[in-house]
């Protein structure tokens, strides 16, 4: 579904992503693991058309995405849950969901409220007054309101308590089990490997390691470097 090939991306003079290639197949959950500054957010922004690569291609369902504007990328069927959530804090839960559905026209949110019952209870609450975990659920729900084929999540577990981390990762697994294709960028290595089919390890903007998530969880080198075993 998503094919990224030989991507080079700069921020000004700084070469951030180096010859980066990765794929996400239809129905897969793929994770990109990387520490602070590895280039995860830069990768998300490049897929969405917020950064222009100097080299390489990004194809979605066989069609080139590079050069498209972010709204055009969303219309093609990709939605993101951004790193800092970027909710509209003075708008209600329901209004945030309506904005998520902007490219598709307001639809039925029953499935979304089913997945996150707390959002149904709080549909008239201002987004900015919700807890961090609730806001993360709303950010995921808002992306789902665009009814994407591919959902990209940039560090959804960041800053959440262990309970909310499990809730958020379980909801990602449930969405993938229903057939939604997912690209998950994380630092929470163990949780991300547990919910994903395949993984890439990003180090200083380069893919250092890739393979089935199960194999990486069992790999002594990954355990020593990333899992503190």
Ligand X SMILES: Nc1ncnc2c1ncn2[C@@H]1O[C@H](COP(=O)(O)OP(=O)(O)OP(=O)(O)O)[C@@H](O)[C@H]1O
Tokens of 78: 């990709």
Give the nearest distance from C-beta 83 to Mg ion in angstroms: 5
* Residue of closest CB approach to Mg ion: 41
| Of the candidate residues 28, 83, 197, 219, the single one contacting ligand X (CB under 6 A) | 83
In the list Mg ion, ligand X, none, the entry touching 156 (Cβ below 5 to 8 angstroms by class) is: none
Tokens of 161: 């308590």
User: Is residue 222 within 8 Å of residue 213, measured between CB atoms?
Assistant: no
User: Is residue 100 within 8 Å of residue 141, measured between CB atoms?
Assistant: yes
49 contributes a contact to ligand X by CB under 6 A = no
28 contributes a contact to ligand X by CB under 6 A = no
| Of the candidate residues 6, 11, 72, 131, the single one contacting ligand X (CB under 6 A) | 11
**Terminal Cα distance for the chain, rounded:** 34
16 contributes a contact to ligand X by CB under 6 A = yes
80's enclosing H/E stretch is: strand 78-81
Q: Binders of Mg ion among 12-41, rule CB under 5 A?
A: 40-41
| Of the candidate residues 12, 162, 179, 228, the single one contacting ligand X (CB under 6 A) | 12
Count residues near ligand X (CB under 6 A): 14
159 contributes a contact to ligand X by CB under 6 A = no
Classify strands 55-60 and 29-33 as parallel, antiparallel or unpaired.
unpaired
Torsion angle of alpha carbons 87, 91, 96, 101, nearest 10°?
Answer: -130
Over the window 83 to 112, marking each residue x when it contacts Mg ion by CB under 5 A and - when it does not, the resulting string is: x-----------------------------
Contact residues for 122 (Cβ-Cβ < 8 A; gap 6+): 93, 130, 134
40 contributes a contact to ligand X by CB under 6 A = yes
CA 159 to chain centre: 16
36 contributes a contact to ligand X by CB under 6 A = yes
**How far apart (Å, rounded) are the C-alpha atoms in residues 193 and 200?**
10
Pick the closer one to ligand X by CB: 149 or 187.
187
157 contributes a contact to Mg ion by CB under 5 A = no
Give SS3 for 6: strand
Pick the closer one to ligand X by CB: 40 or 142.
40
**Secondary-structure breakdown of the chain: helix, strand, coil percentages, each rounded to the nearest 5:** 40, 30, 35
Binding site for ligand X (CB under 6 A): 11-12, 14, 16, 34, 36-42, 83, 187
Binding site for Mg ion (CB under 5 A): 40-41, 83
């Amino acid at each position: 579904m998503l094919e990224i090939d030989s991507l080079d991306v700069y921020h000004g003079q700084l070469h951030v992503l180096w010859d980066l290639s990765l794929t996400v197949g239809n129905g897969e959950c793929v994770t990109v693991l990387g520490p602070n500054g590895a280039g995860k957010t830069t990768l998300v922004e490049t897929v969405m058309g917020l950064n222009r690569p100097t080299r390489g291609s990004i194809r979605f369902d066989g069609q080139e995405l590079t050069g498209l504007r972010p709204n055009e990328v969303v219309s093609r069927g990709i939605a993101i849950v951004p790193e800092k959530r970027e909710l509209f804090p003075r708008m209600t839960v329901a209004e945030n969901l309506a904005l998520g559905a902007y490219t598709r026209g307001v639809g039925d949110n029953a499935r979304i409220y089913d997945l996150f019952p707390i959002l149904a209870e709080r549909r008239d609450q201002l987004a900015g007054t919700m807890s961090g975990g609730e806001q993360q659920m709303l950010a995921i729900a808002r992306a789902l309101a665009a009814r994407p084929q591919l959902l990209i999540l940039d560090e959804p577990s960041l800053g959440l308590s262990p309970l909310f981390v499990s809730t958020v990762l379980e909801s990602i697994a449930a969405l993938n089990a229903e057939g939604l294709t997912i690209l998950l960028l994380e630092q929470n290595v163990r949780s991300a490997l547990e919910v994903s089919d395949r993984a890439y390890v990003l180090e200083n903007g380069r893919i250092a390691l890739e393979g089935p998530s199960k194999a990486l969880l069992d790999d002594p080198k990954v355990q020593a470097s990333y899992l503190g075993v």
